[in-house]
Structure 1
């Protein structure tokens, strides 16, 4: 298993380099970070323009700039930002934990709900329960992420107005200033996560529950399931120990592939709820044509995607002994 994990990591390195280079090149060609200075009236002094050009390495060709930035990343230097007072590495580090807690909690909730709903829907195929879960699944699947987030935010505002107190938080990842005491701060952060987490989880749950249902139906019609029932095993044991374990393999694949779209959904969700996370940092970087910040954001996101795909590959061996032994 260790050799397999090392092999997967080595294979991922060229993918990581290629994706980072493409974004770096596109960001470089898409705009000029000095455009705001050039458009100022009265005009910016030429020596200021020249100094910024050197600081941002705009006087260097594309390929040397990329490798210079990549070499800096390996030493913890993510390059100069268009905003001279901004340290890209520090910004990414602080904002990463804001976003990753949202993504992790939303994925856990979505997976648990998707597995439970998918199994129940498969066991009760073509019943009222199945039709209801199918309708809800397609409803959330068809609903845009930004629209669902806006609806939940408005619902939270209306609920707070109805009870006359701040029960559901609709702005920010935490209160400013934070409440005194570690316990109060943890409760405050969790309170701010309720609506964004529900918004992100519902979009993911909708697709995953359909995959779970389809996979369970396919497994339940397999010969080894009939054999297990014929041997006298209880329905519960057959469903959980034999059917569900095999049915989770396709869901693992889909979850790993969807992590990129979940990160994209987190960008939208953070924008609606005004979180200062990775999404807000990406949008700021794009607006200011900050190539180094945008490329660094993608590099971190690509590492997360590759890590989740590696975890999925390792889970295959846990779920199916045939893969582990092979």
Structure 2
């Protein structure tokens, strides 16, 4: 198992390099951050920005270099004399907001805020997909199957931002009716809370409820349909019929024979759940007032903070790749034919 994990991690290196190239090229293709900043300065002052100021900004953001050199600097930091760029050296690059904004500190402080939302939402959506998919398959063409199918299609069609606003408003109304803070609808934790890691985690749980519900319901439906189809295929397989013919109890057949094999497609779609939750976090953090990576990414897009946008894309890619690794390991747990040696 250890050898397999090491081999898979080594295989991720070229994928990550490709992800950095793609993130860099996509951001570069959208324009020059200096040009955008110059336009904002001219609109604010009503006067043209001096050429010397433009050149200084280009030097500060390294846009005065060639495109290959900019990518090399952002990735390695080799050739830089200021020590503020180079992913492999732990430097994410300069911000258009100036030296007062340290992208590394921003990412480190905001990462865990977003990660716990992504983690909880992914686990909840996968769990709900397994339950509803299995129940629909066992109760095929029953009213329960039709109801769960209808709810799943509704969840697929719901716009995330609209549903999030609806859930938030519902939480606010429940708080008003009960006269208590049953649901926390703004922020990711108590303001000014000063406790250890575990205390901070417990403090954040009430704030996780509503965003997790939204991401869970908007992300589970497609996986539930695959789970249902997989479960139906397994239930109609020869070895399950043989187990029933031998008199094995229905509960044992479902737990030890059918369910384990039917969970393999869910292992395949687990990374998709992570990617969906990462994308949904941008909307959730904006609506529920979280200070996480999603909010920071939206601010970076509005100000065209190129290195901040590239950093967010890279972090999202790393999280998705880790999800793929976990998915591969789950195959060995669910399918006895697979051995990692």
TM bin, normalised by shorter chain, reads over 0.9
Query: Offset at 1:306?
Result: 0.6
Give unpaired runs (5+ residues) of structure 1: none
The aligned runs of 1:233-252 (5 Å cut-off) are 233-252=248-267
Partners of 2:29 and 2:129 in 1: how far apart? 42
Match of 1:64 in 2: 69
- Counterpart among 120, 139, 142 of residue 124 in structure 1: 139
Match of 1:98 in 2: 113
Q: TM-score, normalised by structure 1?
A: 0.93
Query: Offset at 1:282?
Result: 1.1
- Tell me: CA distance 1:112–1:158, structure 2 relative to 1, closer, same or farther (3 Å): same
Match of 2:91 in 1: 77
Verify the 8 A CA contact 1:27 1:289 in the aligned structure 2. Answer: no
- Counterpart among 312, 323, 336 of residue 297 in structure 1: 312
DSSP-derived class of the 1:173 partner: coil
Query: Offset at 1:43?
Result: 3.9
Give unpaired runs (5+ residues) of structure 2: 77-85
RMSD of the alignment, in Å? 2.0
Partners of 1:152 and 1:63 in 2: how far apart? 46
Query: Offset at 1:184?
Result: 7.1
Match of 2:226 in 1: 211
Query: Offset at 1:15?
Result: 2.2
Alignment deviations for residues 110-135 of structure 1 (CA, whole Å, 9 cap, x no partner):
22222122212211111111111111
The aligned runs of 1:247-326 (5 Å cut-off) are 247-324=262-339
Match of 2:15 in 1: 15
Partners of 1:181 and 1:224 in 2: how far apart? 52
DSSP-derived class of the 1:264 partner: helix
DSSP-derived class of the 1:13 partner: helix
- 2:51 paired with 1:36: no
DSSP-derived class of the 1:281 partner: helix
Q: TM-score, normalised by structure 2?
A: 0.89
Partners of 1:319 and 1:131 in 2: how far apart? 28
Post-superposition, which runs of at least 4 consecutive aligned residues in structure 1 deviate over 6 A? 179-184
Query: Offset at 1:254?
Result: 1.5
Partners of 2:282 and 2:174 in 1: how far apart? 25
Match of 1:108 in 2: 123
- 2:184 paired with 1:169: yes
Verify the 8 A CA contact 2:285 2:294 in the aligned structure 1. Answer: yes
Query: Offset at 1:60?
Result: 0.3
Partners of 2:248 and 2:241 in 1: how far apart? 10
